[in-house]
Amino acid sequence: MVIDADRGTLHTLVEALRPETLAQARQALEPLTDPVLLALLTAPDDDEELSTDGLAALERIEAERAAGAPVDYVTDDELARRIGG
């Protein structure tokens, strides 16, 4: 069966990894075992157009960030309150 052959190939590749590359390999493979992370990684790009106001806000924020403006961190509760959640 093709799946078994592919799994065998992956096992062979993992066994051939140098010890110093194991953490990097794990980091690359681990998201593929989590269905939520896999869905996020493979989700299509958002194709919804930004409004003129939304685009202007993003450009303003990017300019502020590039200029070194301080970042306003808020708690999850505060964020939910601000967006009406």
Model pLDDT for residues 24-45, shown as the tens digit of each residue: 999 999 888 889 988 888 888 8
| pLDDT score of 66 | 93
**pLDDT digits 0-9 by tens, 46-81:** 888 889 999 999 999 999 999 999 888 899 999 999
Position 84 pLDDT exceeds 60: yes
**Helix ranges restricted to H, 1-85:** 2-16, 22-29, 35-42, 52-66, 76-83
| pLDDT score of 2 | 59
pTM over the 0.95 mark: no
Tokens coding 75? 């708690």
